[in-house]
Structure 1
Amino acid sequence: MSEPSDEQAAMQHYLVCGTEDCQKNGQFYCNACHQPLCEQCRDKHQKSPNTKNHEIVLYRHRKHQLPVELCQDHPTRNKELFCRECSIPLCSKCSIMKEHIGHVFDDLEEIYADIYAVWQGEFSKIQKYFLPTTNDLKSDIEEDVTEIKKIMKSFRASIKAEAESLKNLVDEVTSESIENTHTMEKTLLKMLKSQETTYDDYITYLWKMSDEFQEYLSLTNKKLLFTKTLKIQPIPETIKPVPPEFIAGRFSKNDITKLLGNVNVPNRKPEKRKIQPIEAESAHMKSTEKQLEQSKEKSDMKQTLSLSSSVTKVREYSVPGVNSVYHVSVEKSGRFWVSDDRGSLVQTDLQGKLLQKIQTSGGKGYHTATQDGDLIYTDRDKKVIYRITQDRKITEFIKTGGWKPISIHSSRINGDILVGMYKGGEAKVTRYNKAGKEIQNIQRDNQGQGLYSNPHYITEKINGDICTSDINTKKVMVVNKSGHHRLYYTGQGSEFCPFGICTDVLGHILVCDMASNTVHLLEEQEGEFLAVIISPRQGINHPRGVCVDDENNLYVGQYFTNTVTVYKYLQ
């Protein structure tokens, strides 16, 4: 076979057409032949008498080929028919056996394709409706927990305040009562003191009278007894004070309870949590599904977006303030953030003008633009996630405890924040909601084995799958939204060193391979390799960071230079 031309070599950066000697982009698929086709070969396929009735669709809408299963009774034949009456798969030779005479048969591949589509639809419902809806309900419960705790805390404060108020009133009444006893005591003692004085005066009077009587009774003066009349005054009368009585208060715990407020559960029927109907999926998911359905219905096989036959360079920026481009985050405004391997994090405008620069100790994919237009980034050493608002105010957002955060991604689906982190030889992915509350930890598979070692870049697909590139395990790891392992990708050669990773609106995964200095494009369903989308042929060496903006432009940053190059690869 002759060496391919430069044009043919460029085409080999994509899924290659299955037609012999054709090296063009196989973006279509023949469900009958089970092979990819380029646009020209598709046209020939549809015009050929032998294949004009074949069903040709976009590659991503292809029917999956029936798995090969040999017939037990005829080992040289495959099962390819389905007997309706017996409800079993058969080979063609079984169909002419006497036990199946008169039976109706269906193409097993068609049944398989239909069942596969149904199961894929159910899987899609799980990913796009059931899991998000259930997680929303769970989040609703968590919000209720927070609200209940807040309400009960306020109740406890009110109860303590009421009790304190009652205590103050009791203290006030007690003080007044005690003061009253002092007043009463003072009055009574004053009266008794007056009586003591009266009797003291009377006693003095008696002693005086006693002296006079004694004098008259003396022998020398006896004659005075006949001339002097002495009369003793009566004892003064006094009154005995009536002691005050203490009347004990008559109260019980129930009386105190009545005085104070109390907490009761209202006598009303609780409302059922509102479960969003399956028809009312999120606007993003509905939009994506609508786009897919419209694409399938178009008879000319054209879709809103598909892989272009070539990669086109759109523009290029030289970013001041960095010595290399390890990661790129694009804002909705078109401005973007770039970081290098020395912790410099800079923001530039559409003309490449430096807007702001901060010094950090982040990881590789350690910053991300949010739906609200802010930027959040990790500080690995401080174990903190910071937020930069549009007015350039930097605030501490999340503390990660003993874990070092090294990668971060803000979900385009619901605004959740995904963080890759490690500690003491272990690694995990933690999900936070938009408010910064931890809601999920993903660390191990069903067998208890660790999923991650060093997830230094992280992103999320449109179906909620979480994708990480792990420099230690040399894998792209994909788990679903629930954290269950789905698949992993280990490259195309003997060596694979994954760096920057992102996904696009079609669900493709794009990942930088430092070993081959290329960017790989992976299929949206099973993560199968589709193409080398960026290579030195496009003027890129050592790609490290990738990002796709809302206009489906691919931003590529590279090592050893401060250049960010923007490409168009979808049409």
Structure 2
Amino acid sequence: MHPWRSAQHVLLCDLCETVPLQRHCELCNINLCVNCAVKHLSDSSKRHNVVPFLHKKSTPNYHKCRDHADKHCEIYCEKCGIPLCSTCVTSGKHKGHEMSDILEKLSAKTESLRKDLEELETRIYHRYDKMASDVETEKAELEANYGKLTTDADEQGEILYREITAIVNRRKSAIAEMKSTHLDALNKNTEEITQKITELKQIISDLKSMLNSNDVSLTSTYKSRNSEFRTLPPKVRVTLPSLSPQKINKDQLNEMFGSLSPLSINTEHGDTMKSAEAVSFPPVKPLLDDPHVTATIDTGYKYLHSVSCLSEDQVWTCGMNETMKLLNLQSKQLTSIQTKSGDWPRDIAVTRDGDLVYTDPSIKTVNLVKNKQIQTVITLQGWYPRYLYSTASNDLLVTMESDDRKQSKVVRYSGSTEKQTIQFDEQGRPLYSSDYDIKYISENRNLDICVTDPSTSAVVVVNQSGKLRFKYTGNPFNTKQSFNPSGITTDSQSHIMTTDSYNHRIHILDQDGQFLRYIYCDLRDPYGLCVDIRDNLFVAEFGTAKVKKIQYL
């Protein structure tokens, strides 16, 4: 037997084969003792590179077995994920396990490391760096944008200087607060991206060191995080507020001066994410034991069915005629819009930009109202649009019914582009009934899509992929009263709230469909629902045509 294969594992010089090796020529790929190394270097015909044997790079750095100190690991157990020596293999502990040659494993791992490093350096890192640059650019433009708002406020204030000085100061304060909130959100986004960049740099450095070391024990335990970093961090999406000056009226200066639209800060998830969430998690708000009405709005309709919040004190409403009204908490009509068809809209919603959208089944369209001008954004064929919801990512979710009244589905749109259709469960059965066209819709903070289905006395909830999560069919502890859901909305706590019209109450559920409690508040035929940015609940009463603002958190 060759001496270097003996039980003692003495590694001998490849040339003299008598003296233990101490050097390695990387050019000739041979192992040498000290004397032979001197002779080898005397050959001037080649540029030999003789290094200490332990520093050689052309062959793997076998490490000693942790259980058998005199053995080197040359086998890799695929099941246990560890290198083994020959004694470990024959011990029986790894019987039946799939084995591979350590050199093959090293080669595969090394190739995987190289691919990860290439992707991190050439693709992922640069995209993070661009995101950071984009946020910095937005921050740089922030002063100019908010400066213009301040200038607009000043110009309006000079016209009414004596009478509205106090109002001007309040508006400036609001602008400054929004600016601060805007900047805080961008700074936080920068910090999140920078943190990821720091992690990427460290991983890249570690991978380079790992590749240079050629150490099997390191590469065999390496866990790739590339899939984690392929999904870019959330990007803050901000809708800048705007000032809306109005004609001077000294008796109504505060209102006529104009209001700032809300500062809208949403998160637009990178690449693989569909959704958009708020910048940070909301504080926990417990449910009140005694919810109460804080305002009542008389809408003037004969029958009222939908309400959607523009702000904390302004709501859009629609009933069973062609007019949609914007009202304040004092029941004053601020503006109104007539439908394009002259028929009554089935549902309304307010986008994240503050524009009104409505469905018009009579001409099979979904329409956007911008600066009092009506634009058709969706035109359907073979389907009637019914109810709709504007999501945090500014998509539109629309419930619709087929012309023959035999099918119902939910469709997600980005602008006029159809992105997703939700109609069947995993067994191919319809998720929604087809014999009752009321199907109010909302998207929860966890991106679940919630639809009321009065025909089946259920609230149908699917996840963002359209997979059925659960159906809520009423309080399980109250089986004596029927459940008749119509309107639906969700809040910052991921509560789901749905009206129970026949029983004159609202059900509050958690995000998993567990009943929490009722809201009564002397409601009569509650129908449509919405919440504002502070989680105030607005309820449209069908028969009284009133909107009630309720504090329940």
Task: Tell me which interval the TM-score lies in, with the shorter structure as reference length.
Answer: 0.3 to 0.5
Name which one, 1 or 2, has greater alpha-carbon Rg. Answer: 1
TM-score after normalising by structure 2: 0.47
